[in-house]
Amino acid sequence: MKLLITGATGLVGGELLRKCKEDGIPVHYLTTRKDKIRNEADLQGFYWNPKTGNIDLSCFDGVTTIINLAGATVAKKWTKSYKEEIAASRVNSLQTLFRGLENSTNNQITSLISASAIGIYPNSATEFYTEDMEVQDSGFLGQVVASWEEEALKFEALGLNAAVVRIGLVLSSKGGALPQIVKPIKNYVGAAMGSGEQWQSWIHIEDLAGIFMFLASKDHGGVFNAVAPNPITNKRLTREVAKVFKKPLWLPNIPQFVMKLLFGEMSAILFASQRVSSQKLEKYGYNFQYQNICRTLEDLYQKWEEK
């Protein structure tokens, strides 16, 4: 197996590279910055520019699986122009890969595994979402994710197995959501969001990387929810983080209108409730290392302290 990874310099991409190095799996990666191109024994970088559709076709040489993680972060204020960037960065990346594969000859690629997000599911306090439920959130993120997945599944027309991985709240000591949750708690100003009853379907970053590698090794196609088996409420997540970091919670819950004043439309993701099932991945044979939030936070706390 040889992988081509887009978005390799991000949080999830970095964990994937670590795992591939540990397992001796050779990797090609695409970057928009020529100063980030490295050429080592099992790691080689190639230039691309999805905005212009430019891609070095040599990136496909010897590759069997593409893992697509490219896309602008949603954790930034959603101005009109930035919303366009969020959508375009995802669609353009996949379209550039697609045209590149059409123009490459004699490649050995059998599958594409593309990141997606549980933001496609509507906000709900009661639903338990599985991959076969044909529902879509009507908001901005729901529309973005639907377009993202549509582009990914087009790779089946090239004879590839196409899989989309709907990622939940990623927990890592190196970045993502957890440091943003921990910071106010460590400063004694932590609190749950809104009612605190909204469901949060989370995933330890090591399991997320493990899921991508599992799907790559099995060549599975279709839609998969990348979430741990036990979703929790925002209130419990906040309480467990405070417990692990040994800090008190004394402030009342933060009203939604306060966060909307600070972050605008983007604040909606802080209050979205999506209880999402991991049963399909488990049925296919993936074994989660981190199934409950307490063990996950204890592990990440130890890594945090070791930094």
List the CATH number of the domain containing 249. 3.40.50.720
- Which pLDDT band, with edges at 50, 70 and 90, does 295 fall under? very high
Distance CA 141, CA 166 (A): 13
Q: How are strands ordered across the β-sheet holding 161-167?
A: 54-55, 43-49, 27-31, 3-6, 65-68, 111-117, 161-167, 222-226
pLDDT at 307 over 80: no
pLDDT at 167 over 90: yes
Q: What is the mean pLDDT of the chain?
A: 95
DSSP state at residue 176: B
pLDDT at 165 over 90: yes
pLDDT at 306 over 80: no
Helices (H), the chain: 11-23, 80-103, 140-153, 177-186, 205-218, 234-244, 256-263, 268-271, 279-284, 293-306
pLDDT at 184 over 80: yes
Provide mean pLDDT across the span 149-159.
96
pLDDT of residue 71: 95
Q: In terms of DSSP bridges, do strands 27-31 and 3-6 run parallel, antiparallel, or are they unpaired?
A: parallel
Q: Which domain holds residue 233?
A: 3-306
pLDDT at 34 over 80: yes
Question: Among 102, 189, 116, which residue's Cα sits nearest to residue 148?
Answer: 116
pLDDT at 220 over 90: no
pLDDT of residue 304: 83
- Which pLDDT band, with edges at 50, 70 and 90, does 213 fall under? very high
Provide mean pLDDT across the span 42-71.
96
Q: In terms of DSSP bridges, do strands 232-233 and 199-200 run parallel, antiparallel, or are they unpaired?
A: antiparallel
Question: Among 276, 7, 256, which residue's Cα sits nearest to residue 120?
Answer: 276
pLDDT over 70 percentage in the chain: 100
Q: pTM of the full predicted structure?
A: 0.96
Total domains in the chain come to 1
Provide mean pLDDT across the span 181-197.
93
Provide mean pLDDT across the span 92-119.
95
Distance CA 33, CA 49 (A): 9
pLDDT at 284 over 80: yes
With residue 30 as reference, give the H or E element that holds it: strand 27-31
